[in-house]
């Protein structure tokens, strides 16, 4: 298999696409569970498609470009998990092409090869939640384009537009997913250490980066929601607590095999190979991106395995280097097969709970389980007062209160006049048909807002569930 991808032939990307289909389609057929973030993303897409504004009408830290793309998907396909996963596959093959091309065109290896694209595809199967259309997956597409421009500059290309585009791509990536701003730091350091870029050209990159963020700010300023955009998105990385779907022990267990492969590949690359100065620079920069990717995982507000997409380029880069250093055909093919097998098993064992792996590493907190309120919330506009976003399955979002960490500042502090006034307006403009109160704040809310309270009755079977009474026009 390795020798097949050593050939410099763009049609190898078609084979990689077939391999992606061969891996993912059988899993989809036998069932890949929906994860809780997918429920949220589809909920946001539906709300935006129905005319709501992100941040002003939907309180969450999802990036504006990600939210906009989810809205477009809802307008095109509705609430279709198949659409999310199909576009995810398309993005993976596009990223394989971009990644391989940036290494080929900048002569990162001693031979022209499609092994990096193949390894990128393999590492994109570390976990089954890589299959979804996450913001980090979408943002990575533009981050790779920025890295391509950086490597061109390191190869002594000095066109001004190269720097502007570099910043522009990074700005787009940041608007898809905020932790990509860390890549901006890596690129600045790389330009300072490994190039002779003059200060004016570095300012061009900063200009390209800022112009994207300024345009986003102007958009929200125009719709009178700049301050809430700044609080919910720009500042969320610093004050918002992360929602951990895994413990540290589980996370290390799920990432142990990929990181072990990286450590072996890195030291073999550094100790065995012989490289020209430009290749050593690229290796050092990729290590910086790998390190910053790990920091981005730590800064992410949803601590899940799909965040490991950040380290896929570094894994693929160094593993490809290691495999290309192997001289004996049988050894190279065997090690390639072992790496591929280990990565696929790393995905399958926890997913299928083989050999009791679920006793040590469990996806229970990540997978969206069927809601006990399914019969009463289906096709209804619902407000969940609490953290369990999976309860929105089959329902639509009412009021802006999606993320509980943001919402509790209002709903648990109604003694403040401003909070009470805004909460009353939010309920009046978008009355939920069902309220699921996991935090015990509904009674206090109803006490403060009797005109809202009279519209609801407690559900017969669930004490903490409130149902909107039928309106006169509904009874007729």
Contact status, residue 408 vs residue 444, Cβ threshold 8 Å? no
Contact status, residue 398 vs residue 381, Cβ threshold 8 Å? yes
The answer on pLDDT for 123 being more than 90 is yes
Cα 203 from Cα 159, distance rounded (Å): 13
pLDDT in tens, 431-464: 999 999 999 898 889 999 999 999 999 988 888 9
Share of the chain above pLDDT 90, in %: 49
Q: Please tell me the predicted confidence (pLDDT) of residue 473.
A: 40
Q: Please tell me the predicted confidence (pLDDT) of residue 349.
A: 82
- Confidence label for 262 from pLDDT (cuts 50, 70 and 90): very high
Supply the angle between the helices 64-77 and 81-105 in degrees, to the nearest 10. Answer: 130
Q: Please tell me the predicted confidence (pLDDT) of residue 342.
A: 92
Cα 452 from Cα 466, distance rounded (Å): 12
| Kind and range of the H or E run holding 376 | helix 374-377
pLDDT in tens, 307-353: 999 999 999 999 999 998 888 889 989 999 999 999 998 888 877 77
Mean pLDDT of 87-97: 94
The answer on pLDDT for 476 being more than 80 is no
Identify the residue with better confidence: 55 or 276: 55
The answer on pLDDT for 472 being more than 50 is no
pLDDT in tens, 263-307: 999 998 888 868 888 888 889 999 999 999 888 888 888 888 899
pLDDT in tens, 375-408: 899 889 999 998 899 999 989 999 999 999 889 8
Q: Please tell me the predicted confidence (pLDDT) of residue 413.
A: 87
Domain ranges of the chain: 2-359, 374-475
Q: Any idea which residue has 């398309």 for tokens?
A: 90
pLDDT in tens, 190-231: 888 887 667 777 888 899 999 999 999 999 999 888 989 998
Kindly provide the b/e burial profile for residues 291-308, where b requires at least 16 CB atoms within 10 angstroms of the residue's own CB.
ebbbebbeebbbbbbbbb
The answer on pLDDT for 260 being more than 80 is yes
CA torsion angle 215 216 220 225 (round to 10): -130
pLDDT in tens, 131-190: 999 999 999 999 999 999 888 877 666 677 888 999 999 999 999 999 999 999 999 888
The answer on pLDDT for 474 being more than 50 is no
Please tell me the pTM assigned to this model. Answer: 0.92
Burial of 342 (0-12, 13-18, 19+ CB in 10 A): middle
The answer on pLDDT for 475 being more than 50 is no
Average per-residue pLDDT for the chain: 88
């Amino acid at each position: 298999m390795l020798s097949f991808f050593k050939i410099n032939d763009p049609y190898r990307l078609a084979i990689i696409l077939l391999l992606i289909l061969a891996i993912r389609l059988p899993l989809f057929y036998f069932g890949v569970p929906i994860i809780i973030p997918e429920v949220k993303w589809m909920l946001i897409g539906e709300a935006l498609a129905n005319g709501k504004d992100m941040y002003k009408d939907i309180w969450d830290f999802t990036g504006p470009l990600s939210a906009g793309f989810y809205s477009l998907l809802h307008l095109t396909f509705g609430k279709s998990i198949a659409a999310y996963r199909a576009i995810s596959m398309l993005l993976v093959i596009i990223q394989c092409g971009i990644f391989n091309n940036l290494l080929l065109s900048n002569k990162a290896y001693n031979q022209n090869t499609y092994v990096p694209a193949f390894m990128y595809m393999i590492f994109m199967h570390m976990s089954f939640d890589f299959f979804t259309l996450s913001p980090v997956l979408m943002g990575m597409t533009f981050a790779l384009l920025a890295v391509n421009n950086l490597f061109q500059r390191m190869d002594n290309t000095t066109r001004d537009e190269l720097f502007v585009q570099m910043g522009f791509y990074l700005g787009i990536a940041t608007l898809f997913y905020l932790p990509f701003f860390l890549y901006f730091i890596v690129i600045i350091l790389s330009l300072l250490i490994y190039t002779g870029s003059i200060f004016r050209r570095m300012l061009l990159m900063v200009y390209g980066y800022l112009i994207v963020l300024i345009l986003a700010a102007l958009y929200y300023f125009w719709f009178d929601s700049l301050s809430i955009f700044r609080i919910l998105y720009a500042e969320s990385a610093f004050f918002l607590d992360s929602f951990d779907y895994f413990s540290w022990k589980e996370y290390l267990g799920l990432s142990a095999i990929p990181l072990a492969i990286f450590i072996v590949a890195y030291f073999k690359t550094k100790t065995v190979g012989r490289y020209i100065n430009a290749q050593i620079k690229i290796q050092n920069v990729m290590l910086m991106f790998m390190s910053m990717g790990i920091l981005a995982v730590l800064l992410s507000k949803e601590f899940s395995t799909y965040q490991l997409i950040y380290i896929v380029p570094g894994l693929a880069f160094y593993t490809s280097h290691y495999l290309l250093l192997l001289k004996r055909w049988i050894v190279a093919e065997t090690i390639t097969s072992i790496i591929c097998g280990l990565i696929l098993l790393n995905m399958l064992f926890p997913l299928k709970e083989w050999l009791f792996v679920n006793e040590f590493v469990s996806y229970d907190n990540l997978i969206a389980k069927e809601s006990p309120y399914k019969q009463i919330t289906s096709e209804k506009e619902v407000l969940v007062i609490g953290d369990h976003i999976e309860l929105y399955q089959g329902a639509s979002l009412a009021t802006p209160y999606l993320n509980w960490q943001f919402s509790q500042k209002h709903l648990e502090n109604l003694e403040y006049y401003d909070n009470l006034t805004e909460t009353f307006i939010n309920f009046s403009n978008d009355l939920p048909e069902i309220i699921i109160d996991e935090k015990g704040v509904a009674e206090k809310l109803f006490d403060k807002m009797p005109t809202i309270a009279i519209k609801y009755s407690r559900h017969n079977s669930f004490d903490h569930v409130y149902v909107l009474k039928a309106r006169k026009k509904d009874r007729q």
